Amino acid sequence: MTNINRSPFTDEIEQAEPSREFSMPHFTSFKGDENPKSHLKHYRSAMILYQNNDVLMCKIFATTLQSEAQDWFYTLPSQSIRNFYELSLVFTKEYLSYCSIKKKSDHLFDIKKNPQESLHNYMRRFKAEKARIVGGNDSIAKTAFQAFQ
């Protein structure tokens, strides 16, 4: 059972009040079943105006967690989080298994057309994989696509 009265933040963070100028940005909630790095990027982008306020970054981040992720947050040891950097590290470590593995363009050579698969479906699957490669090389993609034949 989680103890929601116990905070993993230090007293300094826990007792700090947000400034009156603070306006809560809109966040996508993190439920514990997706890439934590993507959530951190989204969060940092939404909090760009407050990125130098470590206390605020910590306290507001906790509000973006739901379901299993919120349960996890309250299992962190009391007084264990002193800054947003530490919170980001433990968060990423906990949900690391949901991080996508970065692939290189040569991964496309592993995509083979199944015998019963239509060319249209193969092309759709190939394009989807190509889109997941950051900074992909178009000439390698073209060669890989032609290699299936």
| pLDDT tens digit at each of 149 positions of the chain | 444 567 899 999 999 888 888 888 988 899 988 889 989 999 999 999 999 999 999 999 999 999 999 999 999 999 999 999 999 999 999 988 766 556 677 767 778 888 888 888 888 888 877 777 766 667 777 777 777 65
Cα 20-21-26 angle, rounded to 5 deg: 110
Q: Do 113 and 92 fall into the same domain?
A: no
| Same-domain status, 91 and 120 | no
Q: Give the residues across from 30 on adjacent strands.
A: 65
Domain encompassing residue 137: 105-147
> CA dihedral in degrees (37, 91, 17, 25; nearest 10)?
30
User: Are 34 and 76 part of one and the same domain?
Assistant: yes
- Both 20 and 82 in one domain: the answer is yes
**88 beta partners:** none
| DSSP classification of residue 132 | T
